[in-house]
Amino acid sequence: MSVSPLPLVLHADGSSAPDRALGLAQALNIPLAAAPPAEGLLLRLTSEHLELRKLGDPALPGALWVDFNRPAARRRLLHPGEELLTQAAKVRNAAQPLLIDAAAGLGRDGFLLAASGFRVLMFECNPVVAALLSDGLQRAARIVELADIAARMRLTTANALDRLPALAEQPDVIYLDPMFPERSKTAKVKQDLQLLQLLDQKSEPPEQLLFAALKVQAKKVVVKRPLKGPFLGERVPSYSLRGKAVRFDVYVGSGKKRESP
């Protein structure tokens, strides 16, 4: 897939590792610019992190990077079991349950699920989003209080539709949060979401993900939905947990891998 409908280049600050910059530009198949351009999308590698910016747009002055150590992110980790998502994903009688986060995005939900004890295997189909997430995970692995959580997480840049039918290990839970909210320029949509929406989010219809996930016969498939949104693919869940803004639809499965005929 293309990574962005806007021109996208990588620029590395003088203080960042040149080999890493070259490797990233090659992996993402984007130009490595000697200087930031006047406009377009910029992936900027600094000595601290990898960030995404839109240049030449005063309405979007900020940068987006993944930081699991932000106070808001750390607060969410204090009592992971109290979050609606972890309650929806919870399974009994599994020592180190495996959860597949099939639409990882920036990994916020995945990190919370790993903090609650899951081993989390993440698929993210947009290579730029995956690069931002991978960068955040590498930094989390170096922070003493977050290292154990990051160690339970694995990221693969791939379309989950290709990977779900061929999993090496039967997962306990599959989690799906495939859709960004509607494109909107209102102030309500946070800057980081607006930046993400500039990347190519094209993928197969999200209901295909649910259908592929249900075939795996995990103990549960959990789908994040807008509170009043319709059921994904019109499939009625076993039950739903409702929060203030979102709902988690839970589809209970047999938990037993089907033998191929």
Ligand X SMILES: C[S@@+](CC[C@H](N)C(=O)[O-])C[C@H]1O[C@@H](n2cnc3c(N)ncnc32)[C@H](O)[C@@H]1O
Q: Identify which of residues 12 and 149 has a Cβ nearer to ligand X in the complex.
A: 149
Q: 3-class SS at 261?
A: coil
Shortest gap between Cβ of 85 and ligand X (angstroms)?
Answer: 9
Contacts of 244 (CB under 8 A, 6+ apart): 227
Q: Which of 109, 135, 172, 249 binds ligand X (CB under 6 A)?
A: 109
Q: 3-class SS at 166?
A: helix
125 binds ligand X (CB under 6 A): yes
> Residue 108, Cβ neighbours under 10 Å: how many?
18
67 binds ligand X (CB under 6 A): no
DSSP state of 116: T
Q: Which of 40, 80, 107, 136 binds ligand X (CB under 6 A)?
A: 107
Q: Identify which of residues 46 and 203 has a Cβ nearer to ligand X in the complex.
A: 203
Please give the residue whose beta carbon sits closest to ligand X in the complex. 105
220 binds ligand X (CB under 6 A): no
126 binds ligand X (CB under 6 A): yes
Cα gap 159→178, rounded to integer Å: 11
Shortest gap between Cβ of 259 and ligand X (angstroms)?
Answer: 25
12 binds ligand X (CB under 6 A): no
**Residue in the structure block whose two tokens are 């293309």:** 2
> Residue 109, Cβ neighbours under 10 Å: how many?
24
155 binds ligand X (CB under 6 A): no
Separation in Å, CA 214 to CA 18, 30, 94, 102, 208? 44, 36, 20, 12, 10
159 binds ligand X (CB under 6 A): yes
Separation in Å, CA 260 to CA 12, 216, 254? 48, 11, 16
97 binds ligand X (CB under 6 A): no
Residues that bind ligand X (CB under 6 A): 102-103, 105-109, 123-126, 129, 159-161, 177-180, 201, 203, 209
